[in-house]
Amino acid sequence: MSHPGSILIVDDERSMRDFLRIALQRSGHTVELAESPAAAHVAYTANEYDVVLTDLNMPGGSGLDVLDGVKAARPHTQVIVITAFASTETAIAAMKRGAYDYLTKPFKIEEIGVVIERAMEKRTLVRDNIELRAELQGRFRLDRIVGKSPVMQRIFDLVKKVAPAKTSVLLSGESGTGKELVARALHNLSPREKGPFVGINCGAIPETLLESELFGHVRGAFTGAVADRPGLFAAADGGTIFLDEIGELGSQMQVKLLRVLQERTVKRVGGTSEEEFDFRVVAATNRDLEAEVERGAFRRDLFYRLNVIQLHLPPLRARREDIPFLVEHFARKHGAALGHPIAGVDPDAMAVLCDYDYPGNVRELENIIERSVTLETGERITRAALPDLTPRRRAEASAVTPAVPAEWPPEGIDLERVMNEFERDLVLKALQHSQNVRKAAARQLGISLRSLRYRLAKIGMADEEDTES
Ligand X SMILES: Nc1ncnc2c1ncn2[C@@H]1O[C@H](COP(=O)(O)OP(=O)(O)OP(=O)(O)O)[C@@H](O)[C@H]1O
Binding positions for ligand X, rule: CB under 6 A: 145-147, 173, 175-181, 286, 326, 362-363, 366
CB-based closest residue to Mg ion: 180
- The minimum distance between CB 53 and ligand X, in angstroms, equals 43
Beta strands (DSSP E) in 286-419 are: 309-313, 344-345, 380-381
- The minimum distance between CB 230 and Mg ion, in angstroms, equals 24
Return the residues of window 308-327 that contact Mg ion according to CB under 5 A. Answer: none
Nearest to 105 by CA among 93, 90, 95: 90
- The minimum distance between CB 173 and ligand X, in angstroms, equals 6
User: Which CB sits closer to Mg ion, 146 or 373?
Assistant: 146
User: Which CB sits closer to ligand X, 52 or 159?
Assistant: 159
Q: How are strands ordered across the β-sheet holding 51-55? A: 30-34, 6-10, 51-55, 78-84, 101-105
Range in contact with Mg ion (rule: CB under 5 A) among 24-32, 177-185, 299-307, 330-338: 177-185
User: Which CB sits closer to ligand X, 122 or 319?
Assistant: 319
Choosing from 32, 65, 128, 180, the residue that interacts with Mg ion (CB under 5 A) is: 180
Q: Which does 286 bind (CB under 5 to 8 A by kind): Mg ion, ligand X, none?
A: ligand X
Nearest to 183 by CA among 243, 124, 249: 243
- The minimum distance between CB 181 and ligand X, in angstroms, equals 4
Strand partners, 80: 53, 101
423 belongs to the binding site for Mg ion (CB under 5 A): no
User: Which CB sits closer to Mg ion, 180 or 370?
Assistant: 180
Helices (H), 338-414: 347-354, 361-375
- The minimum distance between CB 189 and ligand X, in angstroms, equals 15
User: Which CB sits closer to ligand X, 176 or 460?
Assistant: 176
> How would DSSP label each residue in 440-469?
HHHHHHTS-HHHHHHHHHHTT---SS-TT-
Q: Which does 376 bind (CB under 5 to 8 A by kind): ligand X, Mg ion, none?
A: none
Pairing of strands 216-217, 229-230: antiparallel
Distance CA 19, CA 8 (A): 13
Q: Which does 99 bind (CB under 5 to 8 A by kind): ligand X, Mg ion, none?
A: none
- Yes or no: say if 150 and 417 are a contact pair by the CB < 8 Å rule: yes
Task: Give the list of residues 6+ apart from residue 90 with CB closer than 8 angstroms, or none.
Answer: 56, 64, 83
* Number of residues near Mg ion (by CB under 5 A): 1
Q: CA 445 → CA 162, 207, 468, distances in Å?
A: 45, 61, 17
User: Which CB sits closer to ligand X, 203 or 271?
Assistant: 203
Range in contact with Mg ion (rule: CB under 5 A) among 37-45, 89-97, 160-168, 179-187: 179-187
Q: What is the CA radius of gyration of the chain?
A: 30
- The minimum distance between CB 351 and ligand X, in angstroms, equals 21
Strand partners, 217: 229, 269
Q: Which does 146 bind (CB under 5 to 8 A by kind): ligand X, Mg ion, none?
A: ligand X
- Yes or no: say if 276 and 264 are a contact pair by the CB < 8 Å rule: yes
Q: What DSSP element (H or E) covers 408?
A: none
Q: Which does 3 bind (CB under 5 to 8 A by kind): ligand X, Mg ion, none?
A: none
**CB neighbours of residue 87 within 10 Å:** 17
Question: What's 124-161 look like in SS3?
Answer: HHHHHHHHHHHHHHCCCEECCEECCCHHHHHHHHHHHH
User: Which CB sits closer to ligand X, 230 or 315?
Assistant: 315
Q: Which does 178 bind (CB under 5 to 8 A by kind): ligand X, Mg ion, none?
A: ligand X
Q: CA 349 → CA 280, 329, 352, distances in Å?
A: 42, 15, 5
Q: Which does 147 bind (CB under 5 to 8 A by kind): ligand X, Mg ion, none?
A: ligand X
Range in contact with Mg ion (rule: CB under 5 A) among 114-122, 180-188, 345-353, 443-451: 180-188
Residues counted in the chain: 469
User: Which CB sits closer to Mg ion, 30 or 367?
Assistant: 367
Q: Which does 216 bind (CB under 5 to 8 A by kind): ligand X, Mg ion, none?
A: none
User: Which CB sits closer to Mg ion, 175 or 382?
Assistant: 175
Question: Exposure of 361 by Cβ count < 10 A (0-12 exposed, 13-18 middle, 19+ buried)?
Answer: buried
- The minimum distance between CB 381 and ligand X, in angstroms, equals 17
User: Which CB sits closer to ligand X, 139 or 219?
Assistant: 139
User: Which CB sits closer to ligand X, 74 or 363?
Assistant: 363
- The minimum distance between CB 2 and ligand X, in angstroms, equals 37
What is the binding site for Mg ion (CB under 5 A)? 180
